[in-house]
């Protein structure tokens, strides 16, 4: 334990030090955003105390919650005070010496890499408390935590270290005093401050006061009619509320009145938040009960597959007098969850149908997350599927399942897809050749989650969803528009060759047969009808959930020159193998594996056989 009765000095965490160097040195023209950050922290602190006071009335401040600004033009200081939750010694050490925000490391790297543009990035990122050092040569924070008796002064010039010492304060809350740099004296000017607050902090729900004046509307933004709210005000609210630094891709502001009243103001970000694929799958929509902030991360407010949403849901029909935990199991909350989810899916559908290009950018960011709902939310599965978009061989743009079905060929029975890691690689897969030749479109599924919803959704509009890497390719019935019968390449009789290969490969393959899906490649591997699909098997193996997969079926292209030559040789040999046929069987099998991104079964043996075939080709 350190002795906390005297002044102590600490070094900033390395990342903070780096950040401060960049912040302090920047000539950022928009450095006024520091005020937005400090006011936002003050407002967060009031929100936190208001919630804590629900269960412990002694914590309530004697005056209404407010943020007070104080200017001293002569001294060149500006201070921002709140009567919120405050900080104790441990809080100060933890929050004003480190950066908890995920993605900060990456952000600092980006700043360092892009020296020219760094100033713009700072403005976007919103470096929170530390942005004070853009305008201040010294920052003092006097604070007392609600319910505690000790007060503290945190102080720093932003040059690598900060100090904490005991201080005097009459009540709980925090005062941040900025000693403005010479070139930042404008921020002690009243007119300038009024203007900045109007621009960035109008939406803050607590009064922001300068002397006797309240500078903002001081009411929760979502309670106002949407016609009175500008796009910029929504965007500022989004940034404050979500600690985001992009502009929202879409804003949804809805009021539901009836047996259960609630208002939601939800935002879809235009960029992927850093924690989107974290294992916790945390929600970030804040729950308010009659304008009192209750909690942020409850999964009972919105389903995990909508975790990209930001914003608030407020209802006066939930009870304030119960604990967070009890509130979360309130059936009314479940009803709100279902109503809000439906509304969101409805709005996304509008975007998907009316603004397809714009929707594609949303889909690129959040499609993989939304698709989790196909597995997890059977009640809304159809609505989710409707707004799912997929890459396809048929079209440059993304397609929905219903427009795929509209484009299906005469005689085409199934919706075909191929699943794998990477859409670009999938598009070059040999399995597609026969489908391309017949003009049959194949969907390219390259998100992990695809394998999982495919277990639940096996057909759409009466058409089965069929993987082209599993089971026989039933392309015979599909009518072709171009190739006349007589132009079709000749198919070799493969029976003897197949017999030879089966003997050579033994148990490694489940079957060997002529292929209908290849036109250019000699071979490919597929999963047999009843077996697990190739991609799913690969995923499960990677996650240690599967040891060995089932052997695959090796398909041979009867129109391929190499295959027909080998077939002739096998016929002449009378189905008994020679060295060349033996090498070819193994090499072809490994080649099919390599094309799928796998390694040959026995790399040394593969190299040896390849060498012997080459030697023969050179007549060695
Ligand atoms: P963020 O607001 O994104 O958490 P900041 O850098 O703005 O990041 O603030 C860091 C932390 O410092 C806050 O999360 C909060 O815990 C604490 N803090 C900052 N200002 C105040 C304040 N006025 N009252 C209480 N705590 C504060
Ligand atoms: Mg902040």
> Dihedral of the CA atoms 306, 310, 311, 315 (nearest 10)?
20
pLDDT of residue 576: 61
Could you tell me which residue, 251 or 329, shows the higher pLDDT? 251
Is the CB–ligand 1 distance for residue 153 below 6 Å?
no
What is the predicted pLDDT for the residue at 597?
84
- Evaluate whether 221 touches 237 at the Cβ level (below 8 Å): yes
Residues 6+ apart with CB under 8 A from 417: 390, 442, 443, 444, 445, 465, 466, 467, 468
Task: Please name the residues in contact with 252: beta carbons below 8 A apart, sequence gap of 6 or more.
Answer: 264, 265, 266, 267, 268, 311, 343, 344, 347
**Ligand 1 nearest-atom number relative to CA 84:** 24
Cα distance from N-terminal residue to C-terminal residue, the chain: 80
Provide the mean pLDDT of the chain: 90
Contacts of 424 (CB under 8 A, 6+ apart): none
- Cβ–Cβ < 8 Å for 273, 223: no
pLDDT digits (tens, 9 = 90+) for 170-211: 999 999 999 999 999 999 999 999 999 988 888 899 999 999
Residue 560 is predicted with a pLDDT of 96
Give the least confident one: 110-119, 245-254, 602-611: 110-119
Highest mean pLDDT: which range of 297-301, 341-345, 484-488: 341-345
In this predicted structure, what is the pLDDT of residue 524? 95
**CA 546 to CA 85: how far, in whole Å?**
51
Q: How many CB atoms lie within 10 A of CB 211?
A: 10
42 lines ligand 1 (CB under 6 A): yes
pLDDT at 26 over 80: no
Q: How far is CA 595 from the centre of its chain?
A: 30
In this prediction, residue 1 has a pLDDT band, given cuts at 50, 70 and 90, of very low
Residues 127-151, mean pLDDT to the nearest whole number: 94
The ligand whose atoms approach the alpha carbon of 131 most closely is: 1
* CB-count burial class (<10 Å; 0-12, 13-18, 19+) for 315: buried
pLDDT exceeds 90 at position 149: yes
Tokens of 108: 């600092």
Between 13-22, 262-271, 592-601, the lowest mean confidence (pLDDT) is in 13-22
Residue 451 CA, ligand 2 centroid: distance in Å: 40
The neighbourhood of ligand 2, an ion, using CB within 5 A, equals: 41, 128
Residue 56 has pLDDT above 50, yes or no: yes
- Cβ-based burial of 237 (10 A; exposed 0-12, middle 13-18, buried ≥19): buried
Q: What is the pLDDT of residue 294?
A: 84
pLDDT category, 394, cuts 50, 70, 90?
Answer: confident
What is the average pLDDT across 593-612?
A: 92
Ligand 1 close to Cβ of residue 129 (< 6 A): yes
Q: List the structure tokens of 157.
A: 């010039």
Q: Where are the alpha helices (DSSP H) in 371-457?
A: 372-376, 381-386, 401-406, 423-426, 433-437, 448-453
Q: Is the Cβ–Cβ distance between 497 and 573 less than 8 Å? A: no
**Residue 26 Cβ < 6 Å to ligand 1:** no
Q: Does the pLDDT of residue 126 top 60, yes or no?
A: no
Least confident stretch, 61-65, 154-158, 299-303: 299-303
Catalogue the E-assigned strands of 145-261. Answer: 151-156, 161-167, 173-180, 208-210, 213-214, 248-256
Residue nearest to atom 10 of ligand 1 (CA): 95
> Looking at per-residue confidence, does 325 or 283 come out higher?
283
Q: Which two tokens stand for residue 222?
A: 């979502």
Ligand closest to the CA atom of residue 79: 1
Pair type for strands 443-445 and 459-460: unpaired
pLDDT confidence of residue 120: 55
C-alpha angle 312-127-223 in degrees, rounded to nearest 5:
20
Closest CA relative to residue 111, chosen from 24, 241, 235: 24
Structure-model confidence comparison of residues 141 and 394, the more confident one: 141
Q: What is the pLDDT of residues 548-581, one digit of tens each?
A: 888 999 999 999 999 999 999 999 876 566 889 9
* Max CA separation in the chain (angstroms): 105
Q: What are the distances in angstroms from CA 400 to CA 223, 394, 439, 445?
A: 37, 12, 18, 13
**3-state secondary structure (DSSP) of residue 568:** helix
Per-residue pLDDT tens for 439-462?
Answer: 999 999 999 999 999 999 999 999
Read off the pLDDT of each residue in 474-478 and give the average, rounded to a whole number: 79
CB 432 within 8 A of CB 442: yes
Which pLDDT value is given to residue 121?
A: 58
Question: What was the pLDDT predicted at 103?
Answer: 61
CB contact set of 406 (below 8 Å; sequence gap of 6+): none
Average pLDDT for 471-494: 76
């Amino acid at each position: 334990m350190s002795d906390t009765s005297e002044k102590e000095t600490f070094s900033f965490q390395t990342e903070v030090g780096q950040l401060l160097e960049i912040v302090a040195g920047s000539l950022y023209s928009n450095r006024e955003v520091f005020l937005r950050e400090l006011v936002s922290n003050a407002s967060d602190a009031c929100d936190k105390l208001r919630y804590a006071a629900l269960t412990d009335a002694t914590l309530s401040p004697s005056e209404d919650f407010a943020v007070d600004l104080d200017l001293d033009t002569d001294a060149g200081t500006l201070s921002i005070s709140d009567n919120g939750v405050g900080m104790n010694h441990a809080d100060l050490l933890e929050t004003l010496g480190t950066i908890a925000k995920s993605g900060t490391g990456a952000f600092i790297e980006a700043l360092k890499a892009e020296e020219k543009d760094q100033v713009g990035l700072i403005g976007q990122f919103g470096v929170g408390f530390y942005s004070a050092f853009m305008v201040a040569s010294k920052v003092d924070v006097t604070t007392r935590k609600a319910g505690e008796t000790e007060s503290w002064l945190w102080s720093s010039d932003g040059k690598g270290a900060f100090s904490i010492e005991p201080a005097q304060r009459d009540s709980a809350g925090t005062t941040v005093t900025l000693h403005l740099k010479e070139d930042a004296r404008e921020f002690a000017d009243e007119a300038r401050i009024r203007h900045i607050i109007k621009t960035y902090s109008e939406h803050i729900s607590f009064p922001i006061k300068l002397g006797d004046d309240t500078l903002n509307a001081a009411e929760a933004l979502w309670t106002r009619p949407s016609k009175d709210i500008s796009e910029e005000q929504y965007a500022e609210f989004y940034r404050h509320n979500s600690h985001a630094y992009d502009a929202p891709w879409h804003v949804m502001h809805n009021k539901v009145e009836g047996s259960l009243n609630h208002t939601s103001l939800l935002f879809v970000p235009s960029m992927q938040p850093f924690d989107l694929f974290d294992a916790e799958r945390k929600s970030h929509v804040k729950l308010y009960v009659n304008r009192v902030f209750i909690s942020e991360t409850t999964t009972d407010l919105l389903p995990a597959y909508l975790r990209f949403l930001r914003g608030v849901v407020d209802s006066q029909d939930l009870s304030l007098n119960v604990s967070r935990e009890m509130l979360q199991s309130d059936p009314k909350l479940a009803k709100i969850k279902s109503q809000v989810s439906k509304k969101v899916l409805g709005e996304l559908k509008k975007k998907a149908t009316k603004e397809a290009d714009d929707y594609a950018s949303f889909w690129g960011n959040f499609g993989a997350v939304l698709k989790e709902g196909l597995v997890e939310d059977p009640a809304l599965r159809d609505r989710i599927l409707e707004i799912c978009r997929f890459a396809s061989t048929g079209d440059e743009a993304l397609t929905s399942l219903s427009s795929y079905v509209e484009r299906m060929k005469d005689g085409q029975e199934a919706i075909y897809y191929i699943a794998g890691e990477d859409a670009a690689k999938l598009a070059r897969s040999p399995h597609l050749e026969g489908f391309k030749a017949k003009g049959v479109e194949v969907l390219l599924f390259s998100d992990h989650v695809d394998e999982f919803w495919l277990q639940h959704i096996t057909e759409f509009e009466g058409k089965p969803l069929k993987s082209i890497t599993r089971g026989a390719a039933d392309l015979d019935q599909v009518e072709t528009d171009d190739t006349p019968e007589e132009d079709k390449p000749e198919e070799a009789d493969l029976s003897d060759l197949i017999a030879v290969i089966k003997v050579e490969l033994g148990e490694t393959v489940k079957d060997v047969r002529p292929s209908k899906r290849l036109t250019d490649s000699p071979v490919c591997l597929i999963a047999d009808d009843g077996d697990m699909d190739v991609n799913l098997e690969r995923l499960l193996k990677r996650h240690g959930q599967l040891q060995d997969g089932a052997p695959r079926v090796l398909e041979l292209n009867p129109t391929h020159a190499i295959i027909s030559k080998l077939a002739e040789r096998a016929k002449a040999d009378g189905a008994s193998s020679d060295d060349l046929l033996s090498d070819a069987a193994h090499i072809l099998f490994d080649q099919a594996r390599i094309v799928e991104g796998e390694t040959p079964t026995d790399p040394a043996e593969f190299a040896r056989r390849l060498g012997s075939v080459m030697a023969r080709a050179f007549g060695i």
